[in-house]
Amino acid sequence: MPYFRRNVPLPDCDYAMKDILEQLETRREGARKGGGERRIEAQHKRGKLTARERIVLLLDKDSFEEFDMFVQHRAVDFGMDKAEKIPGDGVVTGWGTVNGRTVFVFSKDFTVFGGSLSETHAQKIIKIQDMALKMRAPIVGLFDAGGARIQEGVAALGGYGEVFKRNVQASGVIPQISVIMGPCAGGDVYSPAMTDFIFMVRDTSYMFVTGPEVVKTVTNETVTSEELGGAKVHTSKSSVADGSFENDVEALLQVRRLLDFLPANNTAGVPEWPSFDVPDRVDMSLDTLVPDNPNKPYDIKELILKTVDEGDFFEIQQAYAGNIVTGFGRVEGRTVGIVANQPMVLAGVLDSDASRKAARFVRYCDAFEIPIVSLVDVPGFLPGTAQEYGGLIKHGAKLLFAYSECTVPLVTIITRKAFGGAYDVMASKHIGADVNYAWPTAQIAVMGAKGAVEIIFRGGDAETIARQTKEYEDRFMSPFVAAERGYIDEVIMPHSTRRRIARALAMLRTKSVERPWRKHDNIPL
């Protein structure tokens, strides 16, 4: 699948010029082979594509323009002066398009010095980062490398520092996506960690600060690369990665899909794609989505898929903190961020993990002017010593802070429970949501009726408790008390949810919010 034109007949010209052109093509061919056929074959045997094959899959056909193909390392210590100098020095850089939109890319080449970062290798990445920032276009990094090139010492470390600095400068300005497609260790993990999204490939990609051998030496723990930093670990336990895929091909195709949801930069506005779905579509099945039994779960993803255009939803961090769902969809062809409590997992409560997951996603959407739709069914925060000792207060405050500082359109739908402080946190009217709707099944209160009555009428007999519970339910366990105070803009029919969201988002397109000047906020990290 070449992205360059091979074997193009040279034009008729004098022999000197023809010789020069042949020399150029020979040098290009040498650079394209990277570490050579033997190493390319070894890469394929591991189930991995080469750096250039990955770029072919990521970008539109024949759109890649390569930079710095002939760059070589300049190291002389520890035998590097005698080592083979391979053009490109272990990373392929350039730009192209994804569905016609400009994207910058660098792809580490494991066949050249194991993809390790040298001074010149870093300079190639830095150049692409600078260009992406100047052009205000997304940048995608494809990682398959063993860390710093040890023979270059501090020069390699300095290169990492320059890359890290640019990750920070670009944060919130252009989308930054990292795809881990092989080993990723040492300094190579910190650059992805500062990007917006990290995706991994199952069984062939690993991320760790120090590898299994160092861990064994320092802590006497015996652990495999997969156990230490495989895709399953980072998608379900550490939350370092936002998703994982079966192989290189699937990973790159899904990154293309994600890019279609993302703005080019923080001022470009969300992309708008043609949609075959009508904005006023109704779905009568939503009227029976919420069970009669308030303790019976239902799948919030059914509501999401029946609300967004054509059921197309790109979920972020699917394997982590399943009690909250985050991801991107479209309404009337325009990207929206979705944050939804999931009653199927822990009844949809907010805990430390869910709060962090949602807060990061909300902040990303706000940075890139992506409207946020929040679907609320939350019985509160998860109680217990494990949560309190783990800093639930501060983690919950992150989500509260993230929503409160939003200036993008915020539309909230309460489907069932909205209890306690979690009601406030989940994009309530009080912290800045623009349009707040509730289904007739919504229950908005400090806590569940039985628990509230047992506190209010502590020591009462069973008959009193039962009577007061019914009274509490009638008084507070409906959306109309909140609607009477204006905290809910309207109680809507479930089947009209998509139409209501579409109309609210259309009205909010011109939203403008002025904030007091400050250097930056101090989110409770």
Catalytic one of 269, 391, 421, 432: 421
Give the per-residue pLDDT at 289.
Answer: 97
Cα gap 319→387, rounded to integer Å: 20
Q: Residue 186: CA atoms inside 13 Å, Cβ hemisphere, count?
A: 16
Q: In what order do the strands lie in the sheet with 139-143?
A: 65-67, 91-98, 101-108, 139-143, 176-180, 197-201, 243-245
Q: Are 504 and 484 in contact (CB under 8 A)?
A: no
Tokens encoding 247? 């192989």
Secondary structure E strands in 133-180: 139-143, 176-180
- Distance CA(114)–CA(161), nearest Å, equals 20
- Is 186 known to be catalytic? yes
> Rounded to the nearest 5°, which phi and psi values hold at 343?
-60, -20
CA distance 386 to 352: 10
3-class secondary-structure state, position 216:
helix
**What pLDDT score was predicted for residue 36?**
78
What is the DSSP code (8-state) at residue 447?
A: S
User: Is there a common fold for 15-261 and 284-442+478-510?
Assistant: yes
CATH fold of 15-261:
2-enoyl-CoA Hydratase; Chain A, domain 1 (3.90.226)
Specify the pairing of strand 139-143 against strand 91-98.
unpaired
Separation CA 523–CA 513 (nearest Å): 19
Residue of 357, 490, 322 lying closest to 411 (CA atoms) = 490
Q: Is 333 a catalytic residue?
A: no
pLDDT along the chain (525 residues), means of 10: 52 71 78 80 92 96 91 63 73 96 95 83 94 98 83 80 96 97 89 96 93 90 92 96 97 98 97 94 96 94 98 98 98 98 97 97 98 97 94 96 97 96 96 97 83 74 77 79 92 97 97 92 90
Radius of gyration of the chain (CA): 27
Q: CA 454 to CA 493: how far, in whole Å?
A: 33
Contact between 347 and 387 (Cβ < 8 Å): no
**Regarding the domain with residue range 284-442+478-510, which homologous superfamily does it belong to in the CATH classification?**
2-enoyl-CoA Hydratase; Chain A, domain 1 (3.90.226.10)
In whole angstroms, give the CA distance from residue 407 to residue 512: 7
CA distances from 313 to 246, 305, 326, 509 (A): 19, 7, 10, 21
Q: What DSSP assignment string belongs to 232-261?
A: HHHHHTS---SEEESSHHHHHHHHHHHHHH
β-strand pairing of 324-331 with 314-316: antiparallel
Core vs surface per residue 333-361: b (16+ CB within 10 A) or e: bbbbbbbbbbbebbbbbbbbbbbbbbbbb
Bridge partners (DSSP) listed for residue 378: 418
* Residue of 96, 114, 187, 396 with catalytic role: 187
Q: Active-site residue among 31, 51, 422, 483? A: 422
Closest to 262 measured CA to CA, from 139, 360, 425: 139
Burial class (CB in 10 A: 0-12, 13-18, 19+), 282: middle
* pLDDT the model gives residue 10: 56
Burial class (CB in 10 A: 0-12, 13-18, 19+), 311: exposed
Whether residue 422 lies in the annotated active site: yes
**Catalytic pick among 115, 147, 186, 348:** 186
The span from the first CA to the last CA of the chain, in angstroms, equals: 45
Cα(218)–Cα(211) distance, integer angstroms: 11
Distance from C-alpha of 92 to C-alpha of 388, rounded to nearest angstrom: 47
Q: How far apart are CA 396 and CA 381, in angstroms?
A: 8
- Per domain, the residue ranges of the chain are 15-261, 284-442+478-510, 448-477
Q: Distance (Å, rounded) from C-alpha 323 to C-alpha 421?
A: 17
515, 516, 522 from 519: Cα distances, Å: 12, 10, 10
Write down the H helix ranges in 262-351.
Answer: 300-307
Number of H helices and E strands in the chain, helices first, is 19, 17
State how far the Cα of 309 lies from the Cα of 303, in Å rounded to an integer. Answer: 12
Strands (E), 283-357: 314-316, 324-331, 334-341
What is the chain's length?
A: 525
State the chain's maximal CA–CA distance in angstroms: 107
pLDDT at 519: 92
pLDDT at residue 3, as a whole number: 47
Task: Of 357, 433, 363, give the one whose Cα is nearest residue 396.
Answer: 357
Instruction: Give the model's pLDDT for residue 78.
Output: 60
Phi/psi for 239 (5° steps) reads 65, 20
Using DSSP bridges, classify how beta strands 443-445 and 410-419 pair: parallel, antiparallel or unpaired.
parallel
Q: Which of 159, 150, 219, 222 is nearest to 190 (CA)?
A: 159
